[in-house]
Amino acid sequence: MSAGEPFWRRKPLGEMSRREWESLCDGCGKCCLVKLEDEDTGEIETTDVACRLLDIGTCRCTDYGHRKRRVPDCVRLTPDNIGALRWMPSTCAYRLLAEGGDLFDWHPLVSGDPETVHRAGVSLRGRAVSERRVRDEDLADRVVEWEL
Ligand code: SF4
Ligand code: SF4
């Protein structure tokens, strides 16, 4: 591996700086979809309902710095837990790298353009609704079969 390689090919996740780690997020928003867990089987289903803090247009968290306090269920990704979070989208940069893969060419770090994740149809843009607009009792009706 040459020194000219980008940082995500040169460094293991656990050795990245905070800035590098945060820049890996492609902004797809898919990990912010509300998930439902079957109490009997433990199976996790995904809905098209996004966390109330997610901006549906930009697909970014509107209070990232305080997300754990605002949304206690929000999972903070770390190099140690990413491998165990089987529900993370298959396109997620953290998951891809944790599994020995590479970033797709639509990833903003590769393309240099934060819009490419949306143009590639990988993000939530245009296909999710905010949790603020959905009643809890209706969540089960919002389960989707999307390939994440
Ligand atoms: S799925 Fe991964 S890349 Fe997409 S928003 Fe979540 S952390 Fe970022
Ligand atoms: S709090 Fe922010 S980062 Fe966490 S799930 Fe909600 S929108 Fe996503």
Domain boundaries, the chain: 7-142
Question: Using CB atoms within 10 A of its CB, is residue 7 exposed (0-12), middle (13-18) or buried (19+)?
Answer: middle
Token pair, residue 119, equals 């143009």
Identify the pLDDT of residue 1. 60
Q: State the pLDDT confidence band at 2, using cuts at 50, 70 and 90.
A: low
Atom of ligand 1 nearest to the CA of 25: 8
Atom of ligand 1 nearest to the CA of 27: 5
**pLDDT tens digits, 51-60:** 999 999 999 9
DSSP alpha helix (H) spans, the chain: 7-10, 18-23, 67-70, 93-98, 108-111, 116-119
Count of Cβ atoms closer than 10 Å to residue 148 Cβ? 17
Averaged pLDDT, 27-55:
94
* Ligand 2 mutation pick, 22, 32, 47, max ligand atoms within 8 A of CB: 32
- The DSSP code for 93 is H
Residue 95 has pLDDT above 70, yes or no: yes
51 lines ligand 2 (CB under 6 A): yes
Residue 42 has pLDDT above 90, yes or no: no
Q: Are strands 44-50 and 129-130 parallel, antiparallel or unpaired?
A: parallel
Question: Using CB atoms within 10 A of its CB, is residue 58 exposed (0-12), middle (13-18) or buried (19+)?
Answer: middle
